Each structure stands twice: as structure tokens, then as C-alpha cells.
Amino acid sequence: MTLKLFNSLTRKKETFIPIEESKVRFYICGPTVYGYIHIGNARPFIVFDVLRSFFEYLKYDVTYVLNLTDIDDRIINRANQEGVDTSEIATKYARAFFEDIRALGVRPADIHPKATENVDTIIALIKNLLDKGFAYKAGSDVFFNVAKFDTYGKLSGKKLEDLRAGARVAVNESKNNPLDFVLWKSRKPGEPAWDSPWGSGRPGWHIECSAMSMKHLGHTFDIHAGGHDLIFPHHENEVAQSECATGEPFVRYWLHNGLLQIDGEKMSKSIGNILTVREVLKKFSGSVLRMFFLQKHYRSPIDLTEAGLQAAESASSRLKIFYDKLCALLDKNTLTDLKLSVLPEPFASLKAGLISAMADDLNTPTALSNLFEMVREANKLLSKEEHSVEELATLTLVRHEIEETDAFLGLISRDQTDLSSGLVSELVTFLIEIRQELRAKREWALADKIRDGLNERGIILEDGGKGTEWRLH
């Protein structure tokens, strides 16, 4: 099976050829853990989880690395706001991140490196760049010298001259050139810091990903993925510093997902339309969100609307109801001797079409339309009053195909969030109201009974300034 992927580096759809036969070394930029991830952040984790799982379906041995940026200006700001340690913020939101992706049916990566646990590796990489003359010290900061990398801009397609014309040096920055970027930031009062040959400080964001990806996947690896917004400067800078340090190509295939809008508008703090994954999960289950994202090609922009989510919800329940009915019928009528071993038409063609759509740069919309066509055809057989042995055999094979497909799409078996379906959400909100009334009447024992009872059932209540919020364990 030939798998084609659109490579941002060459701007072409290319046949995927792994560096090592049957192996895929795959890195995806993870979150900066300073708050709950928003719904746009969820897209790369879902679509590249599907790609990773599809590689496994094709019998590749995949090493999947997803990092956590656990030291960053935003984490420090949040810690200062809340008057707590940065590690407390990072730990809390790293845990929340894993809860969220689990709810979305995303499997954990093989390796989840954290920046703060890899400072030695990062320092060694910066030292390498300084030794080779690609970086320079300015006070106790260290910067990458962009002018030293001839092909800077090759990933984003930006030209150095154009970038220079538009760039400005911020006041107080000590770098030589506005495009140079920081590798090591010197310590500022009240910030966490690590010792380095250049004085105490902390790593810049870009160098973390180069250090952690190469540590686990080698100097050159197969796939690096992330959101389209990371191409410049983050991924461009990763290419520059990695290739200067090793003298070897960094990544073979760069994959980027399109960005998400909400009701036609870019998600932004100024508009105030930032929606977290957990907010959406209160109304729609994780498998509905997966369906919503997979109904669009991963490279296209996607617009999140209530109507779009409802359409995904009805597709999701059609699939699940079909699967439940199919299993119920087959469990009642187990065939001891399966006569039919070849999937009959039209199922065979539909399945083949589904797989070749997946192999064509992860065309999940076409794959899903084939899947639903299989469901429609199988429903014709299912709805019969009586079933012949041949029909049962066909349905048994169809079930096998659906399950095999679901191993990479994750629309049925990976549903973790029935708890957050509409009715449950309403009931929990109702219980929270009753608990408030009990607390107002100082009936603490009964109020606590509600909280503890929900907790035992995997629902955590969090009392805060804006009232009581709830979330799943």
C-alpha cells in the first residue's frame, strides 16, 4: 500500500518512504501547559492520532513522541497571577491535558518528554550551536544567528530579505538581528532557572522541540507534525537550529493541519470566543468531536458551529446504533462454521475505497462516506426479519471490517465520554443547584454527600469564584 502525504517542506503530496523499513519516527508539538487546551488545539492531537493509528493498521512500527512545554512565559505569568509555583501550574494543566485527550479518544504517545526534564540535552544542543558559530551570547542570553543558515525560510517559504524588512527589534532586546531568536534566556527575578555555562536561566521554546525530538528520534526522523500556525517561526526555527547543529536534514515530512474558526471568526482573546475542549465536552461527547474533525480534511480550515457539531452527533449516533444492532444480532446468532471468508460486494469495494482514501493524504471525509455507505448497505441486511447463513456470514465479515477501521478512526470503541452527554450534563447541573441550596441552608452533610457521591462516579465538583464547575476525573 502506497501512502501519500502532503509535505509542507516541498509543498507537494509525496509517497511516504520511511527512513528505516516499516518504522515511523513521528514527533508532534504538544501543549504549553498553562491552561486548559482550546478546541482548536484538539485538532492536531486527533488527526495525527488517526494517522499514527493508520500507520499501525498498515503494520508500521511507530514511535510517537508528543512533548509538553512546562516552562514558558505564559506559565510563569499564570503562576504569578495565582500566587503559586510554576511547577504547580504545569502539573495541574498537564494532568488536565491528558484527561482532555483521553476524553477525545486520543491514545497517549509512546514518549511524553517535558522541557524541564531535558534541560541538560537542551544545554548541550545550545553549546553545540555556540561552538560551531551558529549562535552568540548577548549578556547572559544566547541567540541563534539566522544569517548563518543559508536556507532559512525553506519550510515556510518566507524570504529572509522580506522578513527583515518587516521585522522590528523590541526595546531592551540585545540581539544583533531582529530575526535572531532566543535559545537561552537569562534568569529574571522570581523566575525558575537552571544553571548553564552562560549563567542561570531557562531554555527558549524553539530549542526545546529540537532537543527533545532528536533525543528520542535521531538527527533525521520521518514526520514532524503540528498546527499550521506553528510553521513560522516555530518549525522554521527548529529546522535551522537542528540542521546547523547536526549538519544533517532534520525531518523528512512536515505535516500541518488547518486552523479552526468559531462561527466564521478566528478564535481570539479579544473577540472573547475561546472555547476549551472541556467546555465543548459538556455538550458533545469525545467521539462526536472526533467525527466533527474527521468529516473535514485535516489540511482544510474548519469552522466550528453548533449545526456542524449536531450533524457530527447524528452521524456518530447512526454509526453507534448500527454497530450495537449488528453486535446484538451476531451475538445471538454466532456462526460456528464461517463458510464465507471473502468479503462480498459492495462491501469489499467500499472498504478498499476507504483504505485508499486514508492512504491519499489522510482523506478522512471520503473514508467516512465509504464507511457510511457500508453501514447503509449492511442496514438493509440487518433490518430483515430472518437471516440466512450467508447473510449472517456477510454481517460477521462486515463487523470485522468496521472494527478494523475503527482501530484507526476511533469513532466507536474509543468513546470515553458518555458521562458528558447532554442528559448527564443536565442532571449534574441540577444536582449542583440542589447542593447550593443545601449549603445556603447550612445542611452540610447532605451537600457533601452530593459532592462525594458524584466524585465516586468520576465527576469532580470545583467551587470557585464563578460558582461550581464540574469536570470528569
Alpha helices in 104-159 (DSSP H): 119-131
Give the nearest distance from C-beta 52 to Zn ion in angstroms: 17
Q: In which order are the strands placed within the sheet that holds 260-262?
A: 265-266, 260-262, 302-304
Which one of the spans 27-35, 136-144, 267-275, 334-342 is the region binding Zn ion (CB under 5 A)?
A: 27-35
Decide if residue 251 touches Zn ion (CB under 5 A): no
Closest CB 234 distance from Zn ion, rounded Å: 6
Burial of 398 (C-beta count, 10 Å sphere; 0-12/13-18/19+): buried
Using the minimum distance from each CB to Zn ion, give the nearer residue, 13 or 74: 74
Shorter beta-carbon distance to Zn ion: residue 209 or 251:
209
The piece of 8-16, 28-36, 80-88, 95-103 that touches Zn ion (CB under 5 A) is 28-36
Candidates 25-33, 105-113, 183-191, 391-399: pick the segment binding Zn ion (CB under 5 A): 25-33
CB of 214 to Zn ion, least distance (A): 12
Contacts of 60 (CB under 8 A, 6+ apart): 18, 22, 23, 24
How many other C-beta atoms can be found within 10 angstroms of the C-beta atom of residue 178?
Answer: 15
* Structure-derived torsion over alpha carbons of residues 98, 104, 108, 112, reported in degrees to the nearest 10: -50
The smaller minimum CB distance to Zn ion, of residues 29 and 109, is found at: 29
> In angstroms, what is the minimal distance from the CB of 117 to Zn ion?
16
Q: How far is the CB of 142 from Zn ion (least distance, A)?
A: 19
Of 272-301, binders to Zn ion (CB under 5 A) are: none
Q: Within 10 Å of residue 442's Cβ, how many Cβ atoms? A: 8
In the bound state with Zn ion, the residue whose beta carbon lies nearer, of 186 and 237, is: 237
247 burial (CB, 10 Å; 0-12 / 13-18 / 19+) is exposed
> How big is the CA angle at 206 (ends 201 and 208), to the nearest 5 degrees?
65
Instruction: Candidates 112-120, 209-217, 325-333, 366-374: pick the segment binding Zn ion (CB under 5 A).
Output: 209-217
Least gap, CB of 156 to Zn ion (angstroms) = 14
Number of separate helices (H) and strands (E) present in the chain: 15, 15
CB nearer to Zn ion: pick between 29 and 289: 29
Least spacing, CB of residue 29 vs Zn ion, in Å: 3
Stretch that binds Zn ion, among 21-29, 168-176, 294-302, 459-467 (CB under 5 A): 21-29
Whether the CB-CB separation of 224 and 252 falls below 8 Å is answered with: no
Q: How far is the CB of 244 from Zn ion (least distance, A)?
A: 17
C-alpha 111/C-alpha 132 separation (Å) is: 30
What is the Cα gyration radius of the chain?
25
Could you tell me the three cell numbers for 406?
475503527
Is the CB of 7 or the CB of 241 nearer to Zn ion? 241
154, 9 contact by CB (below 8 A) = yes
Q: Which of 130, 209, 212, 240 binds Zn ion (CB under 5 A)?
A: 209
In the complex with Zn ion, the residue whose CB is nearer, 29 or 304, is 29
Interaction pattern, residues 128-167, with Zn ion; x per rule: CB under 5 A: ----------------------------------------
**Number of residues in contact with Zn ion, rule: CB under 5 A?**
2
Burial label for 276, CB within 10 Å (0-12, 13-18, 19+), is middle
DSSP β-ladder status, 23-28 and 221-227: parallel
Q: Which is nearer to Zn ion, 66 or 411 (CB)?
A: 66
Binding span for Zn ion by CB under 5 A among 23-31, 50-58, 329-337, 362-370? 23-31
Element at 28 (helix H, strand E):
strand 23-28
| Residue 62 or 209 having the CB closest to Zn ion | 209
- Selected from 3, 9, 29, 277, the binder of Zn ion by CB under 5 A is 29
Nearer to Zn ion, 32 or 364 (CB): 32
Buried b / exposed e over 10-34, threshold 16 CB at 10 Å, is eeeeeebebeeeeebbbbbbbbbbb
C-alpha cell read off for 470: 464540574
Of 155-163, 202-210, 298-306, 370-378, which part binds Zn ion (CB under 5 A)? 202-210
Q: Can the peptide bond before residue 178 be classed as cis, meaning omega within 30 degrees of 0?
A: no
Rounded CA-CA distance 333/387 in Å is 9
Tell me if 115 contacts Zn ion by CB under 5 A: no
Least separation in angstroms between residue 133's CB and Zn ion is 25
Contact criterion met (CB below 8 Å) for 315 and 372: yes
Minimum distance, C-beta of residue 235 to Zn ion, in the bound complex (Å): 7
Q: How far apart are CA 31 and CA 45, in angstroms?
A: 10
Q: How far is the CB of 69 from Zn ion (least distance, A)?
A: 7
Using the rule CB under 5 A, give the single segment among 22-30, 174-182, 320-328, 433-441 that binds Zn ion: 22-30
Examine residue 101 and tell whether it contacts Zn ion (CB under 5 A): no
Closer CB to Zn ion, 70 or 415, in the complex: 70
Nearer to Zn ion, 235 or 296 (CB): 235
Q: Could you list the residues that contact Zn ion (CB under 5 A)?
A: 29, 209
